[in-house]
Structure formats: C-alpha cells, structure tokens
Amino acid sequence: MEQFVVTVPESMKAFVQAEIVSGGYGGPNDYICHLLRAEQKRKAKEVLERLVQEALDSPSEEITPAFWDGLRERVIQKSAAREAAP
C-alpha cells in the first residue's frame, strides 16, 4: 500500500480528529479512506446516471425476435474473434 503525507491547517486537523471520535474510525487513515471510497462511489454513480440518461435519450429500437437473433450473432462473432486473436 502506498503512503503519502497530507498537511492540513490546525482547524482541519481538529475537525478530522472530532470526526474520528464521533464516527468510530480507527484513526486518520481510516477516516480519509472512508472519504475517498465515498467519493469514488459518488463519481461512479454520476457516470451510471449519465449513461442511463444517454440511453433514455437515444433512439429506441423495437425488440423483436430478429433483434435478438442479430444481437446473438454479433456476440458470437466477437467471441470467435477474441478466441482467434493471439
């Protein structure tokens, strides 16, 4: 695991220490890791919401047996191409 040092003003240090106590964190490392995981989750949610909105805004295609047949064929072709690749 990589380690780095973060310098913060005294007021932020006091805030972090209070959050550690009130949140039941094991120390500054646990608290910062918690914040980073929450930010990663928030950004992933933003990406997902954007992709869903793009899908909703895109022209739709009627889902028919022919659609599924075509999709199945494209998947089989891509799978075969991957297996044939060195």
In a domain, 44, yes or no: yes
In a domain, 67, yes or no: yes
Residue 86 reports pLDDT greater than 80: no
Longest pairwise C-alpha distance within the chain: 66
In a domain, 34, yes or no: yes
Residue 75 reports pLDDT greater than 90: yes
pTM value > 0.85? no
On the 0-12 / 13-18 / 19+ scale of CB atoms within 10 A, 25 is middle
In a domain, 4, yes or no: no
Total structural domains within the chain: 1
Domain hosting 50: range is: 10-84
Residue 21 half-sphere exposure toward CB, CA atoms < 13 A: 5
Per-residue pLDDT of 9-34, as tens digits, reads 999 999 999 999 999 999 999 999 99
In a domain, 30, yes or no: yes
In a domain, 56, yes or no: yes
Residue 85 reports pLDDT greater than 90: no
In a domain, 5, yes or no: no
